[in-house]
Amino acid sequence: MYKKALEYYEKEDHYRYATLFEQLVPIYKGTQQADTVEYYLAEGYFYQGDFLLSAHYFDKFRQNYPRSTFTEQAEFMYAYCYYKASPRPLLDQETTNTAIAAFAEFTAKYPNTTKKAEVNRIMHELRSKLVEKAYLSAKLYYDMNDYKSAITALKNSLGQFPDSEYREEQLYMILSASYSLAENSVPEKKRERFQNTLDEYYNLMSEYPETKYKREAERIYANSVNIAEK
């Protein structure tokens, strides 16, 4: 059965060799081939696209065989499985955060790994996904005209990711939402909120004096200053 499983492995028949290796795990436990059986089993699930189950087996492997010749690769694959399972930005990003933590652990354990460039590329991609998630979540409030929540979410997003590629747009949305919130406020809150709008105008213009939103920003400024300075 072991020999046949290796034949299927060589042929990349992932379903068949994973099925056989799964049956062989208890039989080969404690033998010299045990780590090979369990590593190939984890690999088999990965290539079948069951990334979370594969991550589970790679995690077990790295705990059970810390000195195996497969261990570094298993540590990498554990993180890589979560990377592959990471969903599109609109969805919950718990898996993305798990992948980032796992890759950070991997690079800490193996600072001289030959996979450093690949890990850096993946980490950048995962972080970009979190940036986009924060941006889209905040923009949803803005698009729904929930200005107060939009301002809070946009500022939280910029606080978490200050170098976001969406920074200019987010600063403008904060300005626009602040202006709309002020316009729709009860009379006793209007002056204070228009003053807040002016603060957001200065924030935008100080960072992006030639912003593509300049015309609309100037309009908001002109309307706000008349009320805020009365």
- pLDDT profile of the chain (230 residues), mean per 10: 97 97 96 96 98 97 96 98 96 96 97 96 97 95 96 96 96 97 90 94 97 96 82
Instruction: Residue 39: name the closest of 66, 12, 61, 6 by CA.
Output: 61
Place of tokens 């970009």: 128
pLDDT score at 197: 95
CA dihedral 159, 160, 164, 169 (to 10 degrees): -50
Burial class (CB in 10 A: 0-12, 13-18, 19+), 159: exposed
Whole-structure pTM over 0.85, yes or no? Answer: yes
